[in-house]
Every structure is written in C-alpha cells, then in structure tokens.
Amino acid sequence: MYERTQSHISLRELDHESHQKIDRPYELLHVLEFSSSRRRMSVIVRNVENQLLLLSKGSDSVMLERLSKNSQDFVAVTMDHVKDALIEAAADEIERDLILLGATAVEDKLQIGVPECIEKLENAGIKIWVITGDKMETAINIGYACSLLREDMEQIVITLDSPEIIELEKKGDKEAVAKASRESVANQIRRGTLLLSSYEGRSVSPALIIDGKSLSFVLSQNLEGSFLHLAVSCASVICCRSTPKQKALVTRLVKKGTGRTTLAIGDGANDVGMLQEADIGVGISGVEGMQAAMSSDFAIAQFRFLERLLLVHGHWCYRRISMMVCYFFYKNIAFGFTLFWFEAYASFSGQPAYNDWYMSCYNVFFTSLPVIALGVFDQDVSPRLCLMNPELYKEGIQDILFSWPRILGWILNGIICSVVVFFFTTSSAVHQAFRGDGRVVDFEVLGVYMYSCVVWTVNCQMAISINYFTWMQHLVIWGSIAFWYAFLLIYGAFPPLFSTTAYQVFVEACGPSPFFWLGTMLVVVSCLLPYLLYRTVQTEFFPMPHDSIQKWQRETSDGRRGKLREKDTLLCK
Amino acid sequence: MNSSTPSSSAAGAGSADSTAPRRNSKRPKYSRFTQQELPACKPILTPKWVIGTFLLVSVIFIPIGVVSLFASRDVVEIVDRYETDCIPEALRNDKVGFIQSDRSKTCQRTLRVPKDMKQPIYVYYQLDNFYQNHRRYVKSRSDQQLRNNGSLQDTGPCKPEDNVAGGPIVPCGLIAWSLFNDTYGFTRNNQQLNVSKRGISWKSDREHKFGKNVFPRNFQNGTLKGGATLDPDVALSDQEDLIVWMRTAALPTFRKLYGKIEVDLQRDEIINVTLQNNYNTYSFSGKKKLVLSTTSWLGGKNDFVGIAYLTVGGLCFFLALVFLLIYLIKPRQLGDPSYLSWNRNPSGH
C-alpha cells in the first residue's frame, strides 16, 4: 500500500498475467471497526473492475470460524505460519548486529522524609526491622538510602545462595537439600552470634540481613530461638525476599519471643498479614491501593507521618492514659475512704455519710469531665519539642509513668486525702455550734461539708496535676465544682419527701455559715499540700525528662509573662 | 533538618489557603480545636511559683487562723457532766435500776460563770456514746406521716415502733420514741432565768417537714417507754424539742439545742440548775452533759479551726523559707538541656 486517502486506498500489486507491478486504486466504501467482542475488523472496497470486496482480519480463532466451507485449503498452511517457534526464529533473525546505545536504570524512590523519620525513631529507642519482598541487593540499597545501614556497620548476611546448596538443588534431592540448608543456616547464625559477642560495649552493632529461603528454614526448623537472640542484638535487621506469610510469621516471632510491643507499617496488600499480626498496624494509603489502610489500626498518608504519630501523639497518649488511670484510683479512693472512716464513727452499721444522690452523681457529674479533659487534651510538652527530643519517647518504652510505685503513690495520696478530709471536718465540727445562731452540726450538714471538701479537693488536685490549661480545662474543672453547688441548690429545692436530708441544707444551713467556707478552704489546702511538696521536690531535685524539657521550653520563651502561647511558639519558629 | 516543619507549617498554611484556588488535597480542614493548638496556659513549678505559692498561702492562712482563734477564745462555755453525780451515792452500783425506778429524779447542780456572757446564751444537752447515726436508727422514721394528716397509717419504716393496739403511733419510729426527756430549770440569785424554747429548730423543718395538722397519738403507749411524752394537743410543727431531736446527729458525741437564755450573765455569778435526770443513758454507758455557751461569728468554742489555720500557714511559711534558702545557696541553672540524661552521655543508651 503506498497511498491512502479518505476515500481511496492505492496498492502496488503484482499482476498475475503480466508479472509486473501495477498500481491499483480501491475505493473505500465502509469500515467495520474493530471491537473486543467481535475481535476482528473489516473493510468494504470497490476495485477497478467495479467489484465489491469485503476484506476482513482478526484473531485466528475468530476468522477460522467464519471461513466458507470451500476454502479450507489454505487453513493448515496458514496455521503453521502462526506457531511460536517460527515467530521466535523470525525474531532471532531480526534482532542481530545491534549497536550499543547505553544503559538505563530505574530508581524506586523513597518517599520524602523517610531517612530523617527512621533516624528519629531510632533515637527514640525503637528498633527497626525491614521485611521486604525485594531481592537482597535492592534491600541493602534501600537500607543505605534510609540510613538504616551505615558505612561503618558490619553486616551479618545469612543466605542460602552458596555454591554447595546450589549444587545440591541441581541434583534435585529434596531431603539432602533441606538438611544441608538447615546446617548452613544454623552455622551462619552461630557465626553471627560469635561476631556479635566480640562487639560487646562498642557503640555500633552490626546489621543482620537474611533472605526469604533461609527465613523459611529458621521458622520451620526450630532455629527461631537462636535467630531471635542474634537478631535482637543487632542494630537493625533486613529480611529480603520474604513472602507475605513470612512477614506475619516474623512479626509474631518477635512479638512472642521478646514480649515487646510491635508496630508494623506497610502500604501494599502483601503487608496485610503483618499489619494484622503486630500489636499496632499502620497502613499507608495511596499508591498501592487501600488494602493496607483498610486492615490497619492507624492509616496515614505518608511514611514520614509515622514520626509525628509516634513521637507526639504516642507520647501524649501514654502520658494521658497513665495519668488518667492513676487519677481515677485517687479520686475514688479519696471519696470512698471518707465513707469508711465515717463508719468507724457510726458503729459500722452501714449508714452512708452522704445522701444517696450525692454519691450517685459523684462519678457522673462532679468529677468526670475534668478527667475526660485530661485524657483527651493534656499536653506536657509542645509538639515541636516532642519531635526535637525523640528520647522523650523512652518514657513510654520504659513504662516509667505507670509503674507500681507511681500507682501506689497515687493510691496513698487518695488515702491521705480521705484521712485529712474526714478528720479535719469532724475535728472542726465536733459538737459545738457552727453558726452565730447556736445551731449545731448534724448529719445533713456534716455530709454536705465533707462532700464539698472532697469535690473541691479532687478537682483542685486535677488542676495542679495537669500541664495544659485551655478554656476547656478551666470550664470543666471550675464548672464541676460550681455544678456541685448548683446541684445542691436544685436538689434541695425539691420537696423534703424527695430530697430527704438535702432539703434546703445549703441555702439554710451551710451557705450562710462562715465556718463552712473557712473549713472547706482549710481542708482543701491541707489535702493538696503534701502533693505540692512532693512535686516541687521531684521536679527540682529529681527531674524526669519531660520536666526538664518543660523548664527549657519556658526558659527559651521567657519574656512573655509566665504564659506560653502555643500559637506564638509555632509562628516564631 | 527538622522534618516536623512540613507537617506543622502545612497545618498553618492550610488556613491561609482557603482563599487560594482549591487544590485536590486530602488534608482535613484546619481548626485550632482539632489540631490541638488552642491557646493554652502551661503552668510549671518554677522556684518563683513555688515560693510564691507557699508565701501566699501563709499570708492568707495566718491572719485567718489568728482571727478564728480569737473568735473561739471569745466564746464562753460552761460544761457540766451530771449523769453520775445526779444519782445518789448509795445507789450508784445499780444505775440502770435507779433510772428505771419511780424514785425522784430531781437533781440540783451549781454552775459558776467564768467570764461575762452576753445574751443570747445557748443551752445545750450533750450526749456521749449515743449513736444517732446508726443506720437502723436513722431509717426508723416516717417522713410521710410527720408531714401529712392523711398519712397517719404510713408507718412502714418505723417497725417495731409503728403500731399499738389502739392504732398507729404518731410520730412513729425509734428516733421519736427515744426523745430526750431531761429538763433543766435555771435560777440566779433566787430569780428564775427564763429559757426560751421558741425557734430552736430549723425553720425548714418546722414549716416543711412536720405538719401543722398532725397531732401525737398513741405515743409512748407501749410497754417500754423510751423517752419523753408529747402533748397530744400540740401539733408536731410546734413540738420544737421533738423537731430538734429528730434532726439526727452526725457523730456519737453530740449536742442539741435545748433553749436560749436571753439575759446577760456576769462573771463569777452562781447559777443553780434544777434538773430532772429522767433519761436512761446508763444502759449503754453514755454520758450526759449540760452546756451553756455563747457564740461568735464563727460558732461555738472549738480551737481546731484556728490552730489548724495557724499550723498550715506556719508550715507553708517555713517551707517557703526553706526553698528560698535552697535556691539562694545552690542555684540550679534550670532548664539547661545539658542536664538531660541522654545529653549527658552523648554516646547514647
């Protein structure tokens, strides 16, 4: 074909009679377009002799069906021409005597911020392992790229690519191969362990690299213990050529073997097993689809967000939860023990010191919101400083904020508070009058007096324990206290058949009595004094990491009168 | 190097971006609340704050303590324990027998006024070892019955002091049944001192808990008399002694208002008390005391508040001094990051 226009196709054909090349135009009448369901296309043309021709082409299976019965002669020969071997032979002939132009390479780019993130996480005391399906060279390169492996790090490589194993594989004896492989892997682990012991005391431990085949022998042939022992002592571990199943198995091995908390992060469908197996699974949503994100506990958009997730939110979350649990123990003990001490003075008959409604509403209205505000909003250190000091994260790893001494300390604080509340209130309101009009303290008044002291004390304790006061904290803490008085007023206004001992007790008896207010102030301050003293001594002479950082934060932004505004810190950075 | 800048400045830039042409971004909408960047106050315990707080507490507490102590010292109180002395000596080995017998229970006591007492002087009776806060005792009353004339039959909680043969007991229950019945008469220089018994109970009790049209009925009619009898012609809301008694006490040692003396008493005056020692506290080794007391703005005589305030104030002052000394002698460069443990060993771990 040498020319094609909208309406004509011109062909240079070999004429059978004259054996010469002649040019013939064909008028293009119609094109039957290609479709994937028909798997063919056709054109209808009119030749010079005014004949109408239909020319059709398509895949061999489709065309053969459409042949008329009397043209089967050429079928066999044509089918022969389509065979693979012939095509390969033809290709082989064509692809010869080439000229070298150059070399290309594909860089599988790391996301932005990954090396910095990994370095920060290592500083935070987190051990990082890479489990990938790529081959060893790729995995090692990635290790160097994201600063998991460093130039001065020795590498312990466990692989089954040695010549002896390959020889055995060629022979095909499965049992011998398995036996030799196991031997080889065990030997390599032993050698690695020996190398490690010569590293005692030095700062940079070696890195361990193991491939998928060896890993399968480790996991199935009882070599887990020695492998884990070796791996945990190395600075980092890279498992290459791992199957998704092995990813999950390695995660489980580490989780069960070391008893530490494991976090798995991945972005592909092949990471799902690992994400589910780890204590925390973080899925990166994006390029490889949503599979990983959907089966994870946390989904983030880029790897570098992990840094913020762990160092800022992880740190805050740990502090908040441990503080919240300790405080819960404290406030309920402070409340419950006053009832217990009262029983000693009521001949242990089971008479509660307070009206039923006071007690029911304690954990619901008067002391619940401040704890929630603590658990959701408290920040001990600003996010910027959390990221700048990854070592703060070690507080969580070493579990220093929720250790037994701390829990018992809070419980003791609760007991001391209850003792102070009860004995101060009863010693101050023994049997003498508590007002200028000669009235004495009765059961109802003592109940309100003690209960007010408890509510004030636990809320003020919250106020001096938290590190971060926004309008929300002010609202819930002072609001809870105010709500107690409002509740007394409202409940006391109900008819006495409903409100029994609380009927007008605040309005009539307690409110106008200066003794009541002075006594409350005395009791609250006395309860909080021991804790304040302890905190002062602890922050000054035995500071914990976050205390020092808080002070440093305050010092470097001095000039603002005592108040640190979060937004200003961010802007001036 | 700080890789936090992309994320934090991205948060900041988000708000500025609202007017720029919309990019196809999945970043959530920025708000101070959701990004936890509310303006915040971050109090920390610097030396200034610590010393300041302790000083402030001592500055507030010590004056209050002084004032309270003076108020308490100003109160003049006469306490006379009489339950043993009011039994004739010969019969003291069987006190319970004595109190339950028909003998004369009149007893003469003498009180000496230690200092000038300004009216109103409150007269109390004090009982020791009497557990008015025992659960079953506290339960044993019927508020419905006390209030409504129509609910006289409502004696459920009052068992066993609920009914007698003639019908329901009004007021029912153990609290009313054990009504205190010692009486006191005061004379000074052979002149009677009037003890006003009006207005000794709480107004809310008189008006809203005890009914104006509820009258005592079948009271102390049973085999065991627990205490005083009540005049069946006086409505409950006027029975002030009953109302005072039924406002149960908090602790086993308590006082209840008996009446008011509305004249001044001079120092060294002798008051003669004629008391009827009717009430049986001997079965449970209880003590009975007669108390005359003035009041101050703070109430009766109790040094605890004043002493406690002074103690706490003094302690805080002492602590403030101690910390001040420590910071002057051994000032620590606070907030120095070189003190951080990981900066002290730069090799890590």
pTM of the model: 0.79
A438 marked as part of a ligand binding site: no
Those residues whose C-beta lies under 8 Å from the C-beta of residue A358, and which sit 6 or more positions away, are A447, A451, A502
- Give A263's pLDDT tier (boundaries 50, 70, 90): very high
Which chain A residues are within 8 Å of B316, Cβ to Cβ? 529
Across the interface, do A554 and B42 touch by the CB < 8 Å criterion? yes
Percent pLDDT > 90 in chain B is 48
Task: Please report the pLDDT score of residue A564 as a whole number.
Answer: 44
A120 marked as binding residue:
no
The pLDDT assigned to B333 comes to 58
Per the CB < 8 Å rule, is A387 touching B6? no
Query: Where residue B20 falls among pLDDT bands split at 50, 70, 90?
Result: very low
- List chain A residues with CB under 8 Å of B332: 540
| Mean pLDDT to the nearest integer, A59-81 | 74
Supply the pLDDT for residue B14.
37
Name which of A290-294, A460-464, B81-85 the model is least confident about: A290-294
Q: Is the pLDDT of residue A321 over 70?
A: yes
pLDDT at position A381, please?
A: 86
Q: Please report which confidence band the pLDDT of residue A21 belongs to, taking 50, 70 and 90 as the band edges.
A: confident
Judging contacts by C-beta atoms under 8 Å, the chain B residues touching residue A471 are 38-39
Least confident among A64-78, A497-511, B185-199, B256-270: A64-78
The reply, when asked if residue A133 is annotated as ligand binding, is: yes
Q: Which residues of B touch A437 (CB under 8 A)?
A: 295
Q: How confident is the model at residue A565 (pLDDT cuts 50, 70, 90)?
A: very low
- Listed in sequence order, the DSSP H helices in A124-162 are 136-145
Higher pLDDT, A461 or A468: A461
> CA angle, A459 as apex, A453 and A462 as ends, to 5°?
140
pLDDT in tens, A127-158: 999 999 888 888 998 899 888 888 888 888 88
Q: Over 80: is that where the pLDDT of A9 sits?
A: yes
- Residues from chain B that touch A504, judged by Cβ atoms under 8 A, are 204, 208
The backbone region for B219, taken as left when phi is positive above 0, alpha when psi lies in -120 to 50, beta otherwise, is: beta
Instruction: Kindly tell me if the per-residue pLDDT of B115 is higher than 80.
Output: yes
Pairing, β B270-276 against β B106-112: antiparallel
Best mutation target among B41, B46, B141 (most A Cβ atoms within 10 Å) is: B41
This complex has an ipTM of 0.87
Q: Residue A170's pLDDT band (boundaries 50, 70, 90)?
A: confident
Asked whether the predicted pLDDT for residue A520 surpasses 60, the reply is yes
pLDDT band at B128 (very low <50, low <70, confident <90, very high): very high
Contacts of B305 in chain A (CB under 8 A): 428, 515, 518-519, 522
Measured between alpha carbons, how far apart are the two ends of chain A, in Å? Answer: 72
Q: Say whether pLDDT at A475 is over 90.
A: yes
Q: Do A439 and B46 lie within an 8 Å CB cutoff?
A: no
Which B positions 239-278 lie with beta carbon below 8 A of chain A? 247-257, 260
Q: Where are the domains of chain A?
A: 3-60, 114-260, 329-378+404-543
Q: Is A43 helix (H, G, I), strand (E, B) or coil?
A: strand
Hey, which residues 94-123 in chain B have their CB within 8 Å of chain A?
120, 122
- Write out pLDDT tens, residues B168-194: 888 888 999 999 999 999 999 889 989
Q: Single out the residue of A214, A227, A226 nearest to residue A165, CA to CA.
A: A214
How many distinct helices (H) and strands (E) make up chain A?
A: 25, 12
Of A393, A294, A573, the C-alpha closest to B11 is A573
Q: Cβ of B4 and A307 within 8 Å? A: yes
CA distance A524 to chain B (A): 11
pLDDT above 80 for A61: no
What is the rounded average pLDDT for all residues in chain A?
Answer: 87
pLDDT of residue B16: 40
What is the pLDDT at residue B196?
A: 92
The stretch A258-275 carries a mean pLDDT of 91
Contacts of A556 in chain B (CB under 8 A): 335
Report the percentage of chain A scoring pLDDT > 90.
40
First to last CA, chain B: 23
Q: How many distinct helices (H) and strands (E) make up chain B?
A: 10, 11
- Is the pLDDT at B29 greater than 90? The verdict is no
Residue B6: the pLDDT is: 35
Predicted confidence (pLDDT) per residue in B74-101, tens digit: 999 999 999 889 888 888 888 888 888 8
In the three-class reduction of DSSP (H, G, I as helix; E, B as strand; rest coil), residue A149 is classed as coil
Q: Which of A438, A445, A545 sits opposite B341 (nearest CB)?
A: A545
Note the residue count of chain B: 349
Chain centre to alpha carbon of residue A246: 21
Provide the pLDDT for residue A378: 87
Q: Which residues on neighbouring strands pair with residue B41, listed in sequence order?
A: A469
* B340/A545 Cβ within 8 A: yes
- A493 to chain B: closest CA residue: B204
Given the candidates 3.40.1350, 3.40.50, 3.30.460, 2.30.130, the CATH classification of the domain at A114-260 is 3.40.50
| pLDDT given for residue A560 in this prediction | 45
**Looking at CA atoms only, how far is residue A40 from chain B in angstroms?**
41
Residue with tokens 């007698």: B164
Single-letter amino acid code for the residue at B298? L
In chain A, which residue's Cα lies nearest the Cα of B255? A431
Stronger pLDDT, B253 or B16, i.e. the higher one: B253
Task: Output the pLDDT for position A220.
Answer: 84
Contacts of B249 in chain A (CB under 8 A): 440, 442-443
Q: What is the mean pLDDT of chain B?
A: 84
- Band of pLDDT at residue B44, cut at 50, 70 and 90: confident
The token duo for A527 is: 């309860």
Residues in chain B with CB shorter than 8 Å from the CB of A446 are: 250-251
Residue B66 near chain A (CB below 8 Å) = no
Asked if the model's pLDDT at residue B123 lies above 90, the reply is yes
B22 shares contact with chain A (CB less than 8 Å):
no
Substitution target from A147, A440, A547 for chain B, most B beta carbons within 10 A:
A440
Compute the average pLDDT of residues A265-293.
88
| Token pair for B318 | 């002492």
A57 has binding-site annotation: yes
- Find the CB nearest B250 among A433, A443, A550: A443
Q: What is the pLDDT of residues B334-346, one digit of tens each?
A: 555 555 555 544 4
- pLDDT: which is higher, A443 or A63: A443
Q: Which residue of chain B has the CA closest to A538?
A: B45
Size of interface A-B (CB pairs under 8 A): 256
Q: Is A247 flagged in the annotation as binding? A: yes
Which pLDDT value is given to residue B295?
A: 92
Query: Tens digits of per-residue pLDDT, A30-49?
Result: 888 887 778 888 989 898 88
Separation in Å, CA of B279 to nearest CA in chain A: 20
- Tell me what percent of the residues of chain A surpass a pLDDT of 70: 95
According to DSSP, the residues that pair with A25 across neighbouring strands are A10
Does A569 count as an annotated binding residue? no
